[in-house]
């Protein structure tokens, strides 16, 4: 007699999504900005921040293996995310740029997680 047919394997469960505040907190830490100010700005402008992260997920960073022809440089991604902080005084946007360009790996880790899990 033939061996019993194994039951079908269920499809892999997608990773649990993370709330927007999870990414805001991670970005604020990576960008070296005051947590309260940064979190407030990102909460108000999460749609714009999400757009930058989605471009990063889809196009990648130029010079990396995963990059597409529509890729952007780390500098350009930093300029776009830090533009959300323009006009907040105390050179917040300028400090953001220095931190982002100096440690894009930290920013990229937050964004990589967004690419994998998404926001709910």
**How confident is the model at residue 30, as a pLDDT?**
94
pLDDT tens for each residue of 45-88: 999 999 999 999 999 998 877 667 788 999 999 999 999 999 88
pLDDT digits (tens, 9 = 90+) for 88-103: 876 899 999 999 999 9
Positive or negative, the Cα torsion across 96, 98, 102, 108? positive
Of 36, 12, 27, 11, nearest in space to 113 by CA: 27
């Amino acid at each position: 007699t033939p061996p019993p047919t194994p039951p079908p394997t269920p499809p892999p469960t997608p990773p649990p999504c993370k709330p927007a505040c999870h990414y805001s907190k991670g970005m604020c830490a990576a960008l070296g900005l005051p947590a309260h100010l940064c979190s407030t700005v990102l909460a108000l402008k999460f749609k714009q921040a999400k757009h930058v992260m989605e471009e990063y997920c889809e196009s990648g960073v130029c010079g990396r293996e995963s990059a597409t022809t529509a890729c952007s440089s780390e500098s350009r991604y930093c300029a776009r995310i830090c533009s959300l902080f323009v006009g907040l005084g105390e050179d917040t946007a300028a400090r953001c740029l220095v931190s982002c360009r100096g440690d894009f790996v930290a920013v990229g880790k937050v964004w990589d997680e967004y690419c994998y899990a998404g926001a709910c």
